[in-house]
Structure 1
């Protein structure tokens, strides 16, 4: 396994070498195939995935069959990290929306390293913080902004995590799933974005975007969310992970969802 500073996942790359070495023998590079379901809502988490490239959407599924995206994760984060907190079932479905690669590890191996590494504990805190930031912004954006602005935001988030240039592998069904709207609404919104030339073309299963025009259409949430997540996983990551104090095998009292004796 490569030295931590050369790993494709930004969060793993921020770990001190000694802490990364606890994970390295157990990390396996796997492909992220387009449209692959990494874990379904309600299932036990069998693997953690640290994307090196590509994009994974977290999809909330309601009892009536409606869906909506709550977050998009790329090489700044991880999928399934909540399993580090104990045996839990996935609250959302994780679906690959842009193909790529990831580093995979079992929850047991990750938890064993977590108990020995204060830096890794801090990394889980950062992951929780970054994911909550997305959840909060997406909830507010869904309530306050137009479908057109929201679609532009999702396309920009996905484009940020794509290596395929300005052509995104997204069907109308996928866009409907992301937005939580009917396909007829998606057709209307895509047509509006084409009229403004923010979308250059929309062939079956592909969208070609004009990023500059798309940024003009997107609500302010895109830039706010991007800056906030970059700050969490870049500046904060390097500072916190390299200054994490030594501790025993128990989780610190301020660790997210830490168990207590009470």
Structure 2
């Protein structure tokens, strides 16, 4: 499983039985996730599904008055755009790449066709939905109950979990403001407080260098609780459900996991 996860990149796709993955593989394209790229805007139709292999994507709620706040961060344990499993829909959230990486992209029509033939893919959609709902609920409670410093520490840890670039995170003050749903002046004060506690080592323009151990001390209990619950949902115990029934195609797995790579 670990070897296949490394080859495929996305943990959820890697957990699919070979025959079920073969339904998707010819239609998957490996695409770059460029920093600050908007994958879909709130209110727009979802044109592509993305299964991240690396990097981090923030889901942002945009209010009519222009205010924004993050509701979740997606990495290689999830997907963006799975609402299309319910049919043609407009996205309720804006998905923005906050840490560059790569993803496997597929059209809703191709994904829906595979979904109709594969109970395993249907179970995968349920797993992602449960993980997303867990994150939404925890973020909502955390925003209501905990300090801005603790909330920023939690977001930084979640993003750090989904990156492989060491302790330097490519996050601007504007991005932090968007994550927290606060003004940039508030972000300045919060970052200064975390620097004073040495949870943030430095904050050069567009970059934060963190001390993970100290950041975990500052973060509220939501970080560990949320991480445990989401990891349990996407764990090997959960994805074993994907093997309950074979896909109705009888195809062997392809020699190559993707039909095309966009550079």
Shift of the alpha carbon at 1:3?
5.9
Equivalent-residue separation in structure 1 for 2:225 and 2:5 (angstroms): 29
- Counterpart in the other structure of 2:33: 32
Residues 85 and 236 of structure 1: CA distance in aligned 2, closer, same or farther (over 3 Å): farther
| SS of equivalent residue, structure 1 residue 22 | helix
Equivalent-residue separation in structure 1 for 2:20 and 2:131 (angstroms): 21
Superposed CA deviations along residues 154-190 of structure 1, whole A, max 9, x for unmatched, are 0000001111100000000000000000000000000
Contact 1:168 1:207 in 2 (8 A): yes
Equivalent-residue separation in structure 1 for 2:21 and 2:68 (angstroms): 36
The residue correspondences of 1:170-209 to structure 2 (distance < 5 A) are: 170-209=171-210
Shift of the alpha carbon at 1:84?
1.7
Superposed CA deviations along residues 66-101 of structure 1, whole A, max 9, x for unmatched, are 100000000000000111210000000000000000
Contact 1:58 1:70 in 2 (8 A): yes
Counting matched residue pairs gives 246
Q: Which has the higher contact order (CA 8 A, sep 6+)?
A: 2
Equivalent-residue separation in structure 1 for 2:227 and 2:153 (angstroms): 14
- Counterpart in the other structure of 1:260: none
Equivalent-residue separation in structure 2 for 1:187 and 1:168 (angstroms): 16
| SS of equivalent residue, structure 2 residue 97 | strand
TM-score by length of 2: 0.91
Superposed CA deviations along residues 31-86 of structure 1, whole A, max 9, x for unmatched, are 00000000000000000000000000000000111100000000000000111210
Equivalent-residue separation in structure 1 for 2:247 and 2:23 (angstroms): 15
- Counterpart in the other structure of 1:69: 70
Contact 1:11 1:237 in 2 (8 A): no
- Two-structure CA RMSD over aligned residues (Å): 1.5
Residues 235 and 145 of structure 1: CA distance in aligned 2, closer, same or farther (over 3 Å): same
Equivalent-residue separation in structure 1 for 2:134 and 2:5 (angstroms): 26
Equivalent-residue separation in structure 2 for 1:102 and 1:146 (angstroms): 33
2:50 is the alignment partner of 1:17: no
- Counterpart in the other structure of 1:103: 104
| SS of equivalent residue, structure 2 residue 171 | coil
Contact 1:4 1:15 in 2 (8 A): no
- Counterpart in the other structure of 2:231: 230
TM-score by length of 1: 0.91
